[in-house]
Amino acid sequence: MTTATGARGTGQATSGRRGAAKVRLDRESIVAAGLELAAASGSATLSVRELGARLGADPTAIYRHFRNKEQLMQALLDELNARSVATVTAPLDDWRARIRQLAAATLDLFADHPAIAVESVVLTTHGPGELDAIELMLDAFARAGLSGDALVRHYALLAGHVLSTAAGIARSRSERGANEDGTSPWFDGPILADPRTHPRIAAFGTQLTELEDRELFMLGVDAIIQSAERAAEASES
Amino acid sequence: MTTATGARGTGQATSGRRGAAKVRLDRESIVAAGLELAAASGSATLSVRELGARLGADPTAIYRHFRNKEQLMQALLDELNARSVATVTAPLDDWRARIRQLAAATLDLFADHPAIAVESVVLTTHGPGELDAIELMLDAFARAGLSGDALVRHYALLAGHVLSTAAGIARSRSERGANEDGTSPWFDGPILADPRTHPRIAAFGTQLTELEDRELFMLGVDAIIQSAERAAEASES
DNA sequence: CAGTGGTGTCAACAGTGTTGACAGCAATGT
DNA sequence: ACATTGCTGTCAACACTGTTGACACCACTG
């Protein structure tokens, strides 16, 4: 196993004069490497040592640029948020399309970077990417005709659903793997239950296993959009 | 630190003849101890060594009764599901109340056992508790007048929301702590943004910080209930 | 040219889940 | 009643995790 030493005798790229060739790091390059690593190895966890090896530097050097692993994960997650916002192309007026685009992009990016997505359940990044995402959603619901409590509540509902559901899908796909066509089931195994005690499960069991996670995810988004529409109608009158 | 040794010289309860006093374990007692431990120390993680110490036995003895830690967590989570279902008292006809009771009980139990709740995002327990919970939800939506695809989809939406949102609340409360009255904010800090670039955040920032997690959780449940009502009306005509 | 702050390296610590060898107890078969 | 078999707790150890403190080097400042 040549696991940890790795960088030692390489002299890799940066003109190693007498063997060591210390690579120079900064937050940007670390974040970039973290995103690549999370995308490359579909693992649901990302270790500091792995990241150090990919950077060609000692793992602990990362702690010169991030206080914690948690802060590092925040930066990675915020970059994912920023990229999600960047994919939204629909005009400001079409608030429904903007919300759907943002949600879909978040799911795709999370599914491609499961190790980062997992952190999103609890983490608030406090970075610029998150701010842009919040602004986008608030603006969308404002253009939908909402205001005050109804607006912030619909935003919170949407944000919660998108982040936690996308994170869950990313995690379960990285452990169970997805189908070759990119789809993946929402339930993992067949559900076996005695029809005497669980008649409903017996009746609907097969339909449950046919549910597809992405479809269900977007269905939830649409449900929130429809709720916003109704709230807007109610406040208009 | 008398951390790991612990059980060594105790002679604790079971009439330790000459010092060792091997405690006899089974799945039931391990699950019971796991639930107590998760409730006692509000930590978001539960280690095998901690659990072994609480049982007064060697940590690795647990592996005689559960193949993995994952299987152990499944059993713990399934017990939580069973207890949630057991708290539902509303009559079968009042499907709305039954759904709300189940959701509220799940949130409370998850918040009290954060180390177990965290696992629920991905885990499907395949235990009797989970089956009962699924049966309850399917039955509720059937009595709401739904059938076929609409029924299973509303079930999936509800289950996803309840599990992932309750898990997220449990985790964030265990890290940031809740208020003394049991409530806790949905957003953690104040949101600072430049009004030029993020006008909506500047306008609604304070309202966002006033959102309460439990209220928002139940609001999501109600949104799904309302969606079910509308779907039922549409299919009736 | 001296000095100072920042940065990478290395060894080490305290944890984590998990496994294999060993020992003892309980129930089995005859 | 005895021998055997299998289950179960114990112990040491492995591979892995995040993180810290001492050290050395390098680039910049005065």
Q: Which tens digit of pLDDT belongs to each residue from A40-99?
A: 988 999 999 999 999 999 999 999 999 999 999 999 999 999 999 999 999 999 999 999
Mean of pLDDT over chain A: 90
* B224 interfaces chain A, CB cutoff of 8 Å: yes
Mean of pLDDT over chain B: 90
- Number of H-type helices and E-type strands within chain B: 9, 0
- Continuous H helices in A17-127: 27-40, 48-55, 69-86, 95-112, 114-117
Q: C-alpha distances in angstroms, A91 versus A95, A99, B161?
A: 8, 11, 30
Chain B residues with beta carbon closer than 8 angstroms to that of A135: 193, 197-201
Three-class SS of residue B93? coil
How far apart (Å, rounded) are the C-alpha atoms in residues B184 and B187? 9
* B99 interfaces chain A, CB cutoff of 8 Å: no
How far apart (Å, rounded) are the C-alpha atoms in residues A221 and B167? 20
**Of A17 and A223, the one with more pLDDT:** A223
Residue B6 has pLDDT above 80, yes or no: no
Per-residue pLDDT reduced to its tens digit, B34-73 = 999 999 988 999 999 999 999 999 999 999 999 999 999 9
So what's the pLDDT on residue A71? 96
Per-residue pLDDT reduced to its tens digit, A117-175 = 998 877 789 899 999 999 999 999 999 999 999 999 999 999 999 999 999 999 999 98
Stated pTM of the model: 0.91
Compute φ and ψ for B212, nearest 5 degrees: -110, 135
So what's the pLDDT on residue A7? 34
Distance from CA(B6) to C1'(D2), angstroms, rounded: 38
Confidence at B172, pLDDT banded by 50, 70, 90 = very high
- In the block, tokens 């940890």 appear at A4
Chain B residues with beta carbon closer than 8 angstroms to that of A234: none
- In the block, tokens 């309202």 appear at B207
Confidence at A189, pLDDT banded by 50, 70, 90 = confident
So what's the pLDDT on residue A56? 95
Confidence at B7, pLDDT banded by 50, 70, 90 = very low
Residue A124: which of B137, B26, B56, B185 has the closest Cα? B185
How far apart (Å, rounded) are the C-alpha atoms in residues B11 and B32? 22
Pick left, alpha or beta for residue A98 (phi over 0 → left; psi -120 to 50 → alpha; otherwise beta).
alpha
Contact between chains at B226 and A227 (C-beta distance less than 8 A): yes
How far apart (Å, rounded) are the C-alpha atoms in residues A168 and A107? 10
Q: Which residue is nearest to nucleotide C15 (CA to C1')?
A: B47
Residue B216: which of B181, B187, B174, B193 has the closest Cα? B187
